[in-house]
Amino acid sequence: MTSAFQIHRSDNVATLLDDAQDRVTLRGESAGEVVLREPVKLGHKVALADIPAGAAVIKFGIPIGTAKAAIPRGAWVHLHNIESGFDERSGSFDVATGVGKDMSYE
């Protein structure tokens, strides 16, 4: 079974250590498993608890962003459902690649 790593005990997300389809085993600060609501790719985050709309998304023990809408436990957590606390342009990034849509790379 694929694993996800919770870095800090207060984190409400964990990072996948490989692509996963249906469930992940938690490592790090938590034990147990999380049933996924959708496939999640290596390096992406999964919600460890229900995160209400407007609530902080916590990784490394610090808020990294804010939930744009309610995020249920087991959901993929990424640019489509959070607003970054580090980059005001996060809403213009491509969800799949993370590339800024407001810049030309030609």
Considering only residues 99 and 45, tell me which one the structure prediction assigns the higher pLDDT: 45
Strand pairing report for 23-28 and 3-6:
parallel
Q: Quick one: pLDDT at residue 34?
A: 97
What domains appear along the chain, each with residue ranges and CATH number? 3-92 (2.30.130.110)
Q: Quick one: pLDDT at residue 96?
A: 62
| Tens-place pLDDT, residues 46-98 | 999 999 999 999 999 999 999 999 999 999 999 899 988 766 555 556 666 65
Q: Which of 101, 1, 15 is nearest to 58 (CA)?
A: 15
Would the pLDDT of 103 be above 70? no
| Tens-place pLDDT, residues 4-38 | 999 999 999 999 999 999 999 999 988 899 999 99
